[in-house]
Amino acid sequence: DAKTTQPPSMDCAEGRAANLPCNHSTISGNEYVYWYRQIHSQGPQYIIHGLKNNETNEMASLIITEDRKSSTLILPHATLRDTAVYYCIAAGGGSEKLVFGKGTKLTVNP
Amino acid sequence: DGGITQSPKYLFRKEGQNVTLSCEQNLNHDAMYWYRQDPGQGLRLIYYSQIVNDFQKGDIAEGYSVSREKKESFPLTVTSAQKNPTAFYLCASRYGYGTEAFFGQGTRLTVV
């Protein structure tokens, strides 16, 4: 699995868009990019994933660069309940292995 | 009601004892995973299984053992060889390549 790099922490104002970056410069062609978040002391929650194209669902949007070496998770209107640790994972490539990094702690401020 | 269930939520054991953590899923998922999380840290992969009767070591398998005799179940045994077993343990499952994983709510193990 490709290694991912995320900033350790970010802040966002309530109601504004939160843009969380992820670098995965060694990603292979058949590895997906997944995003999860974890609110304190709970199991991680799936947010979104994609391979090449940008994706959008009811929670967020995922923007993947054309060279696939980085991506951005966008929470369009952040709320206080979006305060969590966000994990970006690159996985696939013939193995079912899912390896989490340290993630980004997002704090949404009122 | 489909999902992935971990039990118990809290578990206390004396040092030197083996303990088995339960993980059951009724989602018909092929792949299952065990992670360990220490305070303020990310998730570290202990073991994973892609199919029944097969499993692979993750990054921190020493002191742990697993079995996958049924598709629905992937129990984790924390043995006395694990030097620092006190942690939050998370189980996950998914169909396989290109699909998202679902997590249980975790078991918090305390060894005294």
What pLDDT is recorded for position A1?
A: 67
Instruction: Compare CB distances from A100 to B42, B94, B106 and report the shortest one's residue.
Output: B42
Q: Do B43 and A41 touch (CB under 8 A)?
A: no
Cβ within 8 Å of B, A 27-66: 32, 34, 36, 41-46, 49, 51
pLDDT for A93 beyond 90: no
pLDDT for A5 beyond 90: yes
What pLDDT is recorded for position A41?
A: 81
Cα B107 to Cα A30, B83, B104, distances in angstroms: 33, 18, 9
Band of pLDDT at residue A40, cut at 50, 70 and 90: confident
Contacts of B100 (CB under 8 A, 6+ apart): A34, A46, A49, B94
What pLDDT is recorded for position A2?
A: 74
Residue A45 · residue A60 · CB < 8 Å: no
The Cα–Cα gap between B20 and B76 comes to 5
Per-residue pLDDT of chain B (112 residues; tens, 9 = 90+): 569 999 999 999 999 999 999 999 999 999 999 999 999 899 999 999 999 999 999 999 999 999 999 999 999 999 999 999 999 999 999 998 899 999 999 999 999 9
Residue A52 · residue A67 · CB < 8 Å: no
Band of pLDDT at residue A72, cut at 50, 70 and 90: very high
Q: Which residue of A has its CA nearest to B99?
A: A49
Q: Torsions phi, psi of B60, nearest 5?
A: -135, 50
What pLDDT is recorded for position A13?
A: 98
pLDDT for A100 beyond 70: yes
Contacts of A21 (CB under 8 A, 6+ apart): A6, A7, A70, A71, A72
- Here the tokens at position A24 are 């995965």
